[in-house]
Homo-oligomer: A and B are copies of this chain.
């Protein structure tokens, strides 16, 4: 089974290196790796954030372990050359439409959250975010108004097939958890959301065992602060999912702990930490590799069907934390490699 390793920018190479050490330590038969350039690193080396060689590796791979992209040096490039196009391009080219972002507090870290410990401790939710459509991928550009003014525009849309497949992903995830699905939209203003809501309701007929609710996105942002424990699975579109999943991830304390998976219909997946490339601390050994290590565990479980080693990684991370492993973002002083060492010791 082929794993694509795409470290990317900023702290990406440091954290992916630790995840690779953990995978190596498990000595799983039949895993092979190919490394590829993505993001600003790829642009600087070969002039494009998602070079054809990288895309080719991605397409052949069973799973992609991704670090992070984003590089301030590239902020004024034309849009199609910016680092972010690597992740957007991979999602689109491989049809990775179902982005799973679990948020749950590690008990040792509950006090790190800005939320009261009892509120943070109540969080155990999964955001299922659509990542192939919405205003992200509609026609966009600049134009001139009738009055000669510069105008920027982006078309938001969803069709019923796009909504249906992510709705199924949401209902199935809810069925495998506590049986509650909250669909988040802005149907009181947006027709895209109205179609979303209509189709989610249609699909719900196939899941009588799942309790479906609907919430406007502004209310959801409020409820994620007020009482995040009320949520089991949230299913939502690309843009609202981007905002709410980052908000939820911060509610549990450090964003340095949260993993994510983005799957297509054939089991291929891209696995990455939720946090970004953190250019301010890149190369200094300050990055917390745990979110990437946990992303590797998700990869084994979802794309490679290896749930035993996945469980082992997750248990080792929990044990390392219980034993006191703390990087700076968790209030400690351990560097990136030492955090990797702690997980290896706990394996």
Contact = CB atoms under 8 A, between A and B. Distances in A.
A57 interface: no
Given A114-B115, A115-B225, A250-B226, A193 B243 contact: no
10 smallest CB-CB distances across A and B, nearest first, come from A152-B195, A153-B157, A151-B159, A221-B247, A218-B246, A152-B191, A222-B250, A152-B192, A149-B159, A225-B250
Given A88-B189, A152-B191, A152-B193, 13 more contacts: A114-B227, A136-B189, A140-B191, A147-B161, A152-B190, A152-B195, A153-B191, A154-B157, A154-B192, A221-B243, A221-B246, A221-B247, A243-B243
In this complex, the member of A147, A157, A161, A240 whose beta carbon has the largest number of chain B beta carbons within 10 angstroms is A157
Contact of A135 (B82, B156, B161, B227): B156
A192 to B, nearest CB: 4
In this complex, the member of A141, A217, A221, A227 whose beta carbon has the largest number of chain B beta carbons within 10 angstroms is A221
Interface in A217-250: 217-219, 221-228, 239-240, 242-247, 249-250
A177 B242 CA distance: 31
A223 to B, nearest CB: 8
Contacts of A188: 70, 82, 84
A275 to B, nearest CB: 10
Contacts of A84: 188-189
B226 A135 contact: no
B246 A196 contact: no
| Interface class of chain A by DSSP | helix
Number of copies: 2
Contacts of A291: none
Interface of A: 70, 79, 82, 84, 88, 114-116, 119, 135-136, 138, 140-142, 145, 147, 149-161, 186, 188-196, 199, 217-219, 221-228, 239-240, 242-247, 249-251, 255
Contacts of A186: 239, 242
6 contacts: A84-B189, A150-B159, A150-B160, A154-B157, A186-B242, A225-B251
Contact of A142 (B114, B149, B195): B195
Contacts of A239: 186
